[in-house]
Structure 1
Amino acid sequence: MGWPLAVSNGLLEQSQRALVRALGYLALGHALAVFAVTLPFGMLAALLAWQAQIQLGASVLVIGFGVALLIWRRHPRALARIAPSRLAFWSFAVAIAHGAGLMLVPIYLGLCRVETDPGHRAATALASANLGMALVVAVAHTIAMIAAGGCMAWLVYRYLGLKFVSRSWFNLDKVWAASLILVGGLALVFAT
């Protein structure tokens, strides 16, 4: 969701380079946030003797985070305009605040165990992998996130403009919170 800040930086500096530089800072912050969340769970997954308890805790954590997002919906106004030099920190803080990486925790912990689907086989491979897989997951997730956000930022900057964004913007916070609760609930059911 940081791509509007990339558009803002590009428009303020009247430079496509500023847009690309902002996207780089956003990608760095997001990758660090995802890695910060997945790293501890990657380390904990190695403790097979505690796997059931870890899965329960991760499920409750994801559900709790979803509920917290539904309760505290107000965003701080100080986050409306961020200097380009602080975009990596902003991206890290907002990604942590919005639960980046929490959706990956149930997959990383091996809660998806259906062997017939290629996606579930991939999830099983993630769960049985080592600590380096946390880095691979963070990098793959960040590449997908920055590609999607970068395309949106470039399209708005180059063709659509801010008027399009102001007329078509909708807030996905409730959907995100509900999806965290749903995934956490499913993980809780499968963990017991």
Structure 2
Amino acid sequence: MSDSSPWLILIALGAFHGLNPAMGWFFAASLGLFRKSRSVILLSLIPIALGHAAAIAVVVFAAIGLGFTIDADTFRILSGALLIAWGLYHWFFGHQHHLRITAATGLTGIGVWSFLMAMAHGAGMMLIPVLMPMGHVHTHMGGHGGHMVSTDSFGVAALGVIVHTLAMLIVTGCIAILVYQSAGLEILKRRWINLDLAWTLALIGMGLWLLFA
């Protein structure tokens, strides 16, 4: 990949998350319609972004910490297997664990929902394969193999989380405002595609790529 490719992928994944109603725009638009205020929509974007970024950071930083202790090939195989397992679980059982949130839910509730949805969808795990080549990997050939990260990986990962979250936030905000201004929440009944299925297939596909790359 070129030097810019991982960043473009992070932005694309952020935009994809922003398209998913469960990741935030549905509740931002609902809260705005419930309180009859566009400014409420803009305000709700703050907890949505914080919840999403926190969920991703927890997984990504934990993975980086693990990367200091194991070699790159082992980490790649573990990451691929985990992505496939999570994708299959989400495919067969994810629909059974949807939490309920109403339009009357406050900003704190939306932030918690954003965190839980990002965790449930495996959003952080999906970023790990993208961030792996960005961490200035230093491979030491020898009896102990090569470790996948260096000491500056945490800074690169933090920047990656920020870029991804900003992309997600822009798309979330644009859709929420558009729905509030014109379409209304009826758009979910008429035109919205099954993004959960697309995301599940993406998780499994990325896992297979890691296993067989």
TM-score over 0.5 for the pair? yes
Could you say which residue in structure 1 is the equivalent of 2:46?
A: 24
Give the counterpart letter for 2:195 in structure 1.
L
3-state secondary structure, aligned to 1:79? coil
- Given the alignment, which residue of 137, 147, 157 partners 2:180? 157
Q: Distance in 2 between matches of 1:152 and 1:109?
A: 31
Q: Is the 8 A contact 2:135 2:157 kept in 1?
A: no
Give the counterpart letter for 2:82 in structure 1.
L
Q: How many residues align?
A: 177
Tell me the TM-score normalised to structure 1 length.
0.83
3-state secondary structure, aligned to 1:5? helix
Larger displacement relative to structure 2 (147-156 or 81-90): 81-90
Q: Distance in 1 between matches of 2:68 and 2:162?
A: 21
- Given the alignment, which residue of 25, 33, 36 partners 2:55? 33
Give the counterpart letter for 1:71 in structure 2.
F
Structure 1 residue runs of 5 or longer lacking an equivalent are 111-122
Cα shift at 1:124: 6.5
1:67-119 residue CA offsets vs partner (Å, 9 max, x unmatched)? 11111142545424261221111100110000112111112223xxxxxxxxx
% identity of equivalent residues: 32
- Given the alignment, which residue of 74, 78, 83 partners 1:62? 83
1:129-151 residue CA offsets vs partner (Å, 9 max, x unmatched)? 42122211111110000111111
Q: Distance in 1 between matches of 2:98 and 2:129?
A: 32
Q: Quickly say closer, same or farther: Cα 1:140–1:75, change in 2 above 3 A.
A: farther
Q: Is the 8 A contact 1:45 1:109 kept in 2?
A: no
Cα shift at 1:46: 3.3
Q: Distance in 1 between matches of 2:72 and 2:188?
A: 45
User: Runs (4+) of structure 1 moved beyond 3 Å?
Assistant: 75-78, 123-129
Could you say which residue in structure 2 is the equivalent of 1:3?
A: 25
Give the counterpart letter for 1:64 in structure 2.
A
Larger displacement relative to structure 2 (91-100 or 73-82): 73-82
Query: How do residues 36-185 of structure 1 correspond to structure 2 at under 5 angstroms?
Result: 36-47=58-69, 50-76=71-97, 78-81=99-102, 83-84=105-106, 85-110=108-133, 123=134, 125=136, 129-185=152-208
CA-based RMSD of the aligned residues comes to: 2.0
Q: Distance in 2 between matches of 1:124 and 1:133?
A: 6
Q: Quickly say closer, same or farther: Cα 1:79–1:64, change in 2 above 3 A.
A: same
Tell me the TM-score normalised to structure 2 length.
0.76
